[in-house]
């Protein structure tokens, strides 16, 4: 299904887009969702950002979200540190997990890590490390804008993270199954530019990849001043990197 392109005057509200995109996602058959999720995760593992990352910050999929389990298991196998989000009050923190068996039911029934302070992700204790964050969403657009689920957890987390540097509007680079010179996942082998040496105060930069199904990637969506863009959007059919 080709999504409605939203742009210019008369743009839909975030709430309406969220409702419409989640309905499309929920309507997918389980096997279709699993197959597309596998393709998306394969694309993620082929990016330079993933290959170079020492630390993976990844959400635990819930209901009809793109399934991240295969990515998390791949990260374990490659010796990367894996941190997953835990909602705490009005905020969110990431905690290291050593296996998926450690997860427990938490906020709204979503699987979360235990809130052990010694396992909490802290940028100032991760100097020199390359970090990649995988974000879910209701919708993304071709400029890296994201509509989440209405609570703003990721926006607030990135706002306070010294290692996150938002990209200004610029060019974008796309690769799809129709392009030439691709690896097995369909992404260009060069997707994902190099990590900068360090972020603010010498902390690592956090690269951000939004993952969604192709029906959730729109031409343009409304964005507020506090909304944080992602560096790349990956669907089962293409990778869009913001420059």
Half-sphere exposure of 73 (CA within 13 A, CB side): 8
Lowest mean pLDDT among 80-84, 139-143, 190-194: 190-194
The string of pLDDT tens digits covering residues 163-211 is 566 655 555 666 665 333 455 545 544 466 666 655 544 445 789 999 9
Give the per-residue pLDDT at 116: 94
State the distance between the two ends of the chain, measured CA to CA, in whole angstroms: 28
pLDDT category at 35 given cuts 50, 70, 90 is very high
- For the domain with range 14-142+153-242, which CATH number is right: 1.10.10.10, 3.90.1010.10, 3.40.50.10420, 3.90.930.60? 3.40.50.10420
Give the per-residue pLDDT at 204: 56
Give the per-residue pLDDT at 169: 56
Average pLDDT, the chain: 86
Average pLDDT over residues 32-42: 99
d(CA 129, CA 86): 22
d(CA 97, CA 95): 7
Angle, vertex CA 178, rays to CA 209 and CA 223, nearest 5: 35
pLDDT category at 223 given cuts 50, 70, 90 is very high
Average pLDDT over residues 98-117: 95
139-141 sheet: strands from edge to edge? 146-147, 139-141, 217-218
d(CA 147, CA 127): 30
Nearest Cα neighbor of 56 from 207, 165, 193 is: 207
In the predicted model, is pLDDT for residue 16 greater than 60?
yes
Which is higher by pLDDT, 35 or 162?
35
Residue 201 has phi, psi (to 5 degrees) of 60, 20
In the predicted model, is pLDDT for residue 83 greater than 50?
yes
Lowest mean pLDDT among 25-29, 199-203, 234-238: 199-203
Give the per-residue pLDDT at 176: 65
In the predicted model, is pLDDT for residue 4 greater than 90?
no
Average pLDDT over residues 68-78: 98
Q: What is the pTM of this model?
A: 0.85
Q: What percent of the chain has pLDDT over 90?
A: 70
Average pLDDT over residues 232-242: 97
């Amino acid at each position: 299904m080709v999504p409605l392109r939203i742009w210019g005057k008369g743009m839909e509200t975030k709430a309406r887009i969220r409702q419409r995109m989640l309905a499309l996602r929920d309507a997918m058959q389980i096997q279709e969702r699993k197959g597309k999720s596998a393709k998306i995760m394969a694309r993620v593992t082929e990016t330079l950002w993933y290959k170079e990352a020492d630390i993976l910050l990844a959400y635990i999929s819930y209901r009809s979200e793109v399934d991240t389990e295969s990515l998390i298991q791949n990260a374990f196998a490659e010796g990367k540190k894996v941190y997953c989000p835990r909602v705490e009050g009005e905020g969110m923190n990431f905690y290291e997990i050593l296996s998926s068996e450690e997860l427990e039911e938490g906020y709204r029934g979503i699987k979360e890590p235990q809130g052990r302070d010694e396992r909490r992700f802290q940028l100032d204790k991760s100097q020199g490390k390359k970090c990649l964050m995988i974000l879910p969403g209701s919708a993304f657009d071709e400029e890296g804008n994201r509509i989440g689920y209405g609570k703003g957890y990721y926006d607030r987390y990135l706002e306070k993270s010294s290692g996150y540097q938002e990209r200004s509007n610029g060019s974008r680079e796309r690769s799809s199954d129709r392009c030439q010179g691709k690896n097995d996942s369909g992404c260009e082998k060069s997707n994902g530019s190099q990590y900068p040496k360090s972020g603010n105060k010498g902390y690592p930069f956090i690269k951000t990849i939004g993952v969604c199904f192709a029906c959730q990637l729109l031409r343009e969506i409304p964005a507020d001043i506090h909304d944080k863009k992602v560096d790349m959007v990956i669907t089962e059919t293409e990778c869009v990197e913001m420059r």
